Amino acid sequence: MIIVLKATATEEQKRHILEKIESLGLRPHVSVGVKRTVIGVIGPEDAVRNVPLAAFPGVETVVPILQPFKLVSREFKEDDTIVTVRGVEIGRKKIVVMAGPCSVEGRDMLLEVATHVSRAGASLLRGGAFKPRTSPYSFQGLGENALKCLAEAREKTGLPVVTELMDPRDIPLIEKYADMVQIGMRNMSNFALLRELGALKKPILLKRGNMATINELLMSAEYIVSSGNPNVVLCERGIRTFETQTRNTPDLISVPVIKQLSHLPVIVDPSHATGRRDLIEPLCRAAIAIGADGLLVEVHPDPETAMSDGPQSLAPDQFADMMRGLASVARAVGREL
């Protein structure tokens, strides 16, 4: 449930309500919005069934949250959440583009890509240090050496870094080098890992699993937020269907649906959604038009020699051309690139 406070509620009244909630063995989560302040109450409903919370001083009303996901629901927080990554805001008017290689293959290639995407208008640099691959014999990433390269690229370009976390044992490394932590589709339902992210003081980019429903994605986000980290960005990267023309099937309708259900920002990954570089720009245009807050695009200096995901990677000049074209789409829907 959520407890909506009166505009005149005092700090003492708020503290009294919080103490009562905690005394019942429940967890309160305070959200201060533009129009109202609400306290989310997390725990068994039976614990508060006979407690007249609506009669407490400073309380305007008590409303049950009907969705199974509580803290990430639009019911709990009416205002959009803005997630800030080293000064870059995700969820406002500006479309945030995260670009870079699927895997960091070396220092020189990464610095080359970082320089190009920065000049073309990207806001964040993406790059994999630890790569989850279907085959155990495929390139698995350079680990800490890749993270050091990403940190150097950040220093040279000013772009914040987003990279994927697979193993909770690598959290100290990721925390040391990265500005935003990506959780890939394979780990979307790794609930033990998601709980660990609640204690991490870094924004989280949570990708939808290719067999996951929208509700399941939001429940995974709930694990992170309920564990203490409210800075979550959701990513639609395509779902698995019977279609074989593309790597996955882009589920663009999920963007406005999620925005109705949740206050969290939503971005789209056209590279993994299609698996084809010739479809990346059309899907980016559609994603912006339908309301996405950002894009996650793979860029490689020479896609033909890429050690992973070459067919779905743009060359730097292709990325720059695409960015110029996307600016007009953003303006047409009242956004900016």
Summarised one tens digit per residue, pLDDT across range 52-72 is 888 999 999 998 888 889 999
Contact (CB, 8 A) for 175 and 147: no
User: Residue 147: CA atoms inside 13 Å, Cβ hemisphere, count?
Assistant: 19
Q: CA-to-CA distance for 238 and 44, rounded, in angstroms?
A: 35
pLDDT at 302 over 70: yes
What value does the mean pLDDT take over residues 100-118? 96
State pLDDT tens for residues 152-191: 999 999 999 999 999 899 999 999 999 999 999 999 999 9
Confidence of residue 44 (pLDDT cuts 50, 70, 90): confident
The CA distances from residue 205 to 158, 165, 178, 186, in Å, are 20, 10, 12, 13
pLDDT at 137 over 60: no
Confidence of residue 46 (pLDDT cuts 50, 70, 90): confident
**What local confidence, expressed as pLDDT, does residue 80 receive?**
95
pLDDT at 84 over 60: yes
What value does the mean pLDDT take over residues 196-212? 95
Q: Torsion angle of alpha carbons 39, 44, 46, 48, nearest 10°? A: -20
Confidence of residue 229 (pLDDT cuts 50, 70, 90): very high
Percent of the chain exceeding pLDDT 90 equals 78
pLDDT at 140 over 70: no
**What local confidence, expressed as pLDDT, does residue 51 receive?**
84
What value does the mean pLDDT take over residues 253-266? 98
pLDDT at 139 over 80: no
What average pLDDT is seen over the chain? 93
Domains of the chain, each with CATH number or no CATH: 2-63 (3.30.70.1140), 83-332 (3.20.20.70)
What value does the mean pLDDT take over residues 217-229? 95
Contact (CB, 8 A) for 305 and 102: no
What value does the mean pLDDT take over residues 236-244? 96
Q: Are strands 37-42 and 27-32 parallel, antiparallel or unpaired?
A: antiparallel
Q: CA-to-CA distance for 203 and 179, rounded, in angstroms?
A: 7
Confidence of residue 131 (pLDDT cuts 50, 70, 90): low
Confidence of residue 257 (pLDDT cuts 50, 70, 90): very high
**What local confidence, expressed as pLDDT, does residue 334 receive?**
96
The CA distances from residue 331 to 33, 97, 165, 328, in Å, are 28, 15, 34, 5
State the amino acid at position 336 in one-letter form: E
Query: By mean pLDDT, which of 52-56, 140-144, 251-255 is the weakest?
Result: 140-144
Confidence of residue 322 (pLDDT cuts 50, 70, 90): very high
- The whole-model pTM stands at 0.90
Confidence of residue 223 (pLDDT cuts 50, 70, 90): very high
Contact (CB, 8 A) for 294 and 283: no
pLDDT at 25 over 70: yes
Backbone angles phi, psi at 279, to 5 degrees: -105, -5
Which residues 6+ apart lie within 8 Å of 250 measured at CB? 236, 238, 268, 270, 273, 274, 283, 286
**What local confidence, expressed as pLDDT, does residue 212 receive?**
97
What value does the mean pLDDT take over residues 246-270? 97
Percent of the chain exceeding pLDDT 70 equals 97
Confidence of residue 296 (pLDDT cuts 50, 70, 90): very high
